Amino acid sequence: MPPIRRAATALAAALALFALPAAAEEVTTFSLENGMDVVVIEDHRAPVVVNMVWYRTGAADEAPGKSGIAHFLEHLLFQGTDDLAPGEFSKVVEDNGGTDNAFTSWDYTGYFQRVAADRLELMMKMEADRMVDLKITEEDVATEREVILEERNQRIENDPSALFGEDRRAAQWMNHPYGIPIIGWKHEMEGLTRQDAYDFYKLHYSPNNAILVVAGDVTPEAVKALAETYFGPLPANPEIKPRARPQEPPHRAAVHLDFEDPRISQPYVVRTYLAPERDAGAQEKAAALTFLAELLGGSPTSSLMGRMLQFDESLAVYSAAFYSGESLDDGQFGFYAVPVPGRSLEEAEADIDRVIETFMEEGVDMEAFERIKMQLRASEIYAKDSLQRLARRYGEGLTSGLTVEDIQAWPQVLQAVTPEDVMAAAREVLNPLNSVTGYATRPPEAAPAPEPASAPVAETVPDDLPVTEEISQ
Amino acid sequence: MPPIRRAATALAAALALFALPAAAEEVTTFSLENGMDVVVIEDHRAPVVVNMVWYRTGAADEAPGKSGIAHFLEHLLFQGTDDLAPGEFSKVVEDNGGTDNAFTSWDYTGYFQRVAADRLELMMKMEADRMVDLKITEEDVATEREVILEERNQRIENDPSALFGEDRRAAQWMNHPYGIPIIGWKHEMEGLTRQDAYDFYKLHYSPNNAILVVAGDVTPEAVKALAETYFGPLPANPEIKPRARPQEPPHRAAVHLDFEDPRISQPYVVRTYLAPERDAGAQEKAAALTFLAELLGGSPTSSLMGRMLQFDESLAVYSAAFYSGESLDDGQFGFYAVPVPGRSLEEAEADIDRVIETFMEEGVDMEAFERIKMQLRASEIYAKDSLQRLARRYGEGLTSGLTVEDIQAWPQVLQAVTPEDVMAAAREVLNPLNSVTGYATRPPEAAPAPEPASAPVAETVPDDLPVTEEISQ
């Protein structure tokens, strides 16, 4: 009994703490004359700074047949410029006690360093340099192409859940390039050239297609002065236009795919639906879908899926729902279920459908709804604790078509969601015609799979669960 | 009895006739200095001529987001030029007692006129004019866009089998633009502009991207003189390069899709596989697949599908197999089955699989094999009877990456196929991982479908059965 009471007390305390809306962080935004946007997040708790340059370009902006070039170029940005030798960038960061990395997704490419606050000028100088003065040789390209191919081997070819995810995405998007993997199709990666990299660079890397996000122990005035010094002189590219990718036609057929791989130890089923993303000035539907995912398959102990499939009856060893809505174009709403041994994937799929039907009939569980609201407030507060996470939130949001105001309004938009909004979003999005259902199994003739390691579930849950899938350098 | 005897006699006569290889038609080919290829097929049986201009460009060469522009431009080529008023082209043809039309597919766009032989010069003059001097106004574009949208309504939106075909194609090609409909996605067609049409025109319409095919009562010398006069002065476009569309990654998952439409009166199932196309200098595999389609599902009375599903047991009211291999990139091999009332699509799909298994076990029926060989020889001879069909064969072949030699060798390549070739091709192509299986049904809650008209089968067999799908103007 006592532990339960203590837990209850802790929950009460948490409820009191999170009852107040989280204060917005101190954010200043401005643009340089060449069109480069700057976001400064002040936080003077420690003498460190995170310096990020985000480009409004990613894998969904690649030319047909050139898949992987956005990510390949991200790698090549660590090669030399007119002022820096190949590899020198990261070495300078390291020599100054910092860390750096980069990442590519469908909608963005980002570069960052975390350094002592007094090294910010050096970071900006180097980022401005590689924005326009990249120098890559045929040899760099040949070497780095081997690196990205090996990266594909490791991340995708060696991981059946990643292969399965590629196939499901290709089926989900009939026309939009979100159906093409960020890292690229292997056969196209093999053909990427130095010219392809330069073409993409010239087309997309320019100050008016970039956002500088600086978070930490800095003042907006100091950042402005540095940005004007280093990025200010770079010319805007007049060819940069708002991104317009091919959009989806209406989906008229539910798609099912059977993926077999001898390395799959526990069969599982994934159902995804095309879903609206967060739109500038209109995030309400996305907010409702955020609740819907939590209500249906957030926590294994309190979500409807968890209760129906894992606790009330032991039908699944794992189940979850998710919503990925931070993107420029349509996102996804989805379900996973890993049935218990002996239960078929057909049965597991029927279980998912039963959860949806039950939800549609019974409506929103108000206790769960209020708990989720509180958890979302809490996660707001936790998010502020990480400089890097905060900086990323702005970089991701701005490269996904949102404004600073949208990003700051999001917590309130979430808090304003009503149960009726959730039901309306569910009715709209859970349309079988927009769905792809994938079965991942071992071929019947395959040898028994190796005994699952300590965490069998993690092994079977695809990589693409996170809201923003991306590849770090 | 007597009718049967007569039929047998006729067959024996046909066998004697077709035992000899068909003589190659009289074909002369040459190129102009600007790179335009010319094919002349002499046939002096009647004083008529077919004049065709084929462009090595089609729907698979469109920019992302611009689907339908190849076909839209084909329409706009009947608008004015600097010398011709809008609509004047076809009027001149008609006033001269001729007929004209045009067609667009994924790999080609073709224009043709059939006129008295002495009007050839006028036709060439007009074709040369619209190759480079198209003049279209915003008004033309607005009007013609309504026309193509209405065409889409008629051909696609009003025809559930066409909608179903679009969905299956989108699932079949994960990366290659063959997955995009020739006529275009409706939402993209609505946005096509005059500038889009001109961009496509400037990029693809030039003598070095075109083939002139003239068939009929002409001499190569006369055609050469005319071609040099009218097409010769047009400058080559140095930007024209060999077409390189995004290719498919390996397919790793069998795809299934459920298409429901209240207008479907008889449910049916279609299974397709990606299949190699006819390649220049290497048509053997395609030839074997041509036999495979005939053996498995050519004639309802003698193919394995017809016998097993329609005659031995009454499981299907219609069944067929097909192979479409005349394309620049991967084609398709496929099966259709329309089960008898009361038999489910799952059972119909299992029937298809049973036919495949039986074939793999029993191998090639030699009697059927020889009959198909003879029929292919016969169809060669019949083909020569139509000037237009003969001319099209060269236009289609040359725009699909074949050479004149390939086109002429095809009948012999077909005759050289062995049963072993067929089995090897079957083993390679009938790989479930490359398959898309579609179920077309009426939604359970739909009102009873209207009574099928006199030809229910035709109603349910999708439009995309023909080997070369295309849209005529």
Q: For chain A, what is the radius of gyration of the CA atoms? A: 23
Q: Does B203 touch chain A (CB under 8 A)?
A: no
What's the mean per-residue pLDDT of chain B? Answer: 89
Q: Does B61 touch chain A (CB under 8 A)?
A: no
Q: Does B384 touch chain A (CB under 8 A)?
A: no
pLDDT of residue B445: 76
Residue of B171, B187, B256 lying closest to A249 (CB–CB): B187
Amino acid at the residue B272 = T
The dihedral sign for the CA sequence A117, A122, A126, A128: positive
Question: How far is B428 from chain A, CA to nearest CA, in Å?
Answer: 18
A163 to B258: CB separation less than 8 angstroms, yes or no: no
- For an interface test with B, the pick among A186, A187, A258, A433 (most B C-beta atoms closer than 10 Å) comes out as A258
List CB contacts (< 8 A) between B246 and chain A.
Answer: 64-65, 67, 188
- For an interface test with A, the pick among B169, B258, B259, B264 (most A C-beta atoms closer than 10 Å) comes out as B258
B258 to A257: CB separation less than 8 angstroms, yes or no: no
Query: Would you say A52 and A228 are in contact if contact means Cβ atoms under 8 Å apart?
Result: no
* Integer Cα distance of A141 and B324 in angstroms: 39
Q: Of B62, B74, B144, B151, which one is the catalytic site residue?
A: B74
- Global pTM? 0.83
Q: Does B438 touch chain A (CB under 8 A)?
A: yes
Question: How far is B317 from chain A, CA to nearest CA, in Å?
Answer: 24
B340 by DSSP, 3-state: which? Answer: coil
Residue of B247, B258, B432 lying closest to A253 (CB–CB): B258
* Integer Cα distance of A88 and A205 in angstroms: 20
CA distances B83 to A261, B125, B134, B200, Å, are 63, 10, 9, 21
Burial B331-363 (b: 16+ CB within 10 A, else e): bbbbbbbbbbeebebeebbebbeebbeebeeee
* Integer Cα distance of B1 and B320 in angstroms: 30
Residue ranges in chain A modelled with pLDDT below 50: 1-12, 14-15, 17-22, 450-468
Q: What is the 3-state secondary structure (H, E, C) of chain A?
A: CHHHHHHHHHHHHHHHHHCCCCCCCCEEEEECCCCCEEEEEECCCCCEEEEEEEECCCHHHCCCCCCCHHHHHHHHCCCCECCCCCCHHHHHHHHCCCEEEEEECCCCEEEEEEEEHHHHHHHHHHHHHHHHCECCCHHHHHHHHHHHHHHHHHHHHCCHHHHHHHHHHHHHCCCCHHHCCCCCCHHHHCCCCHHHHHHHHHHHCCHHHEEEEEEECCCHHHHHHHHHHHCCCCCCCCCCCCCCCCCCCCCCEEEEEEEECCCCCCCEEEEEEEECCCECCECHHHHHHHHHHHHHHCCCCCCHHHHHHHHHCCCEEEEEEEEECCCCCCEEEEEEEEECCCCCHHHHHHHHHHHHHHHHHHCCCHHHHHHHHHHHHHHHHHHCCCHHHHHHHHHHHHHCCCCHHHHHHHHHHHHCCCHHHHHHHHHHHCCHHHEEEEEEECCCCCCCCCCCCCCHHHHHCCCCCCCCCCEEC
B55 by DSSP, 3-state: which? Answer: strand
B50 by DSSP, 3-state: which? Answer: strand
Residue of B163, B180, B258 lying closest to A175 (CB–CB): B180
Q: Does A5 touch chain B (CB under 8 A)?
A: no
CA distances B158 to A7, A271, B151, B161, B335, Å, are 62, 30, 10, 9, 24
Question: How far is A136 from chain B, CA to nearest CA, in Å?
Answer: 25
Q: Does B245 touch chain A (CB under 8 A)?
A: yes
| Placement of tokens 């084609």 in the chain | B331
Burial A46-73 (b: 16+ CB within 10 A, else e): eebbbbbbbbbbbbbbbebbbbbbbbbb
Q: Does A180 touch chain B (CB under 8 A)?
A: yes
Q: What are phi and psi of A333, to 5 degrees?
A: -120, 135
List CB contacts (< 8 A) between A244 and chain B.
Answer: 65
* Integer Cα distance of A68 and A189 in angstroms: 6
Q: Does A322 touch chain B (CB under 8 A)?
A: no
DSSP 8-state symbol, B155 = I
| Placement of tokens 């792809």 in the chain | A436
- For an interface test with B, the pick among A66, A67, A257, A271 (most B C-beta atoms closer than 10 Å) comes out as A257
B253 to A253: CB separation less than 8 angstroms, yes or no: no
CA A53 and chain centroid, separation: 17
Q: How many contacts, defined by CB atoms under 8 Å, are there between A and B?
A: 93
Residue of A177, A187, A246 lying closest to B188 (CB–CB): A246
Q: Does B160 touch chain A (CB under 8 A)?
A: no
Residue A194: Cβ within 10 Å count: 16
Prediction ipTM score: 0.76
B259 to A245: CB separation less than 8 angstroms, yes or no: no
B247 to A187: CB separation less than 8 angstroms, yes or no: yes
pLDDT of residue A183: 97
For the segment B227-243, what is each residue's pLDDT rounded down to a tens digit? Answer: 999 999 999 999 999 99
Q: What is the mean pLDDT of each run of 10 residues along chain B (473 residues)?
A: 40 49 75 97 92 97 97 95 92 91 96 95 97 94 94 92 96 96 97 97 97 96 97 96 94 96 93 96 96 93 91 92 95 96 96 97 95 88 80 95 94 96 97 96 72 34 40 61
Q: Does B175 touch chain A (CB under 8 A)?
A: yes
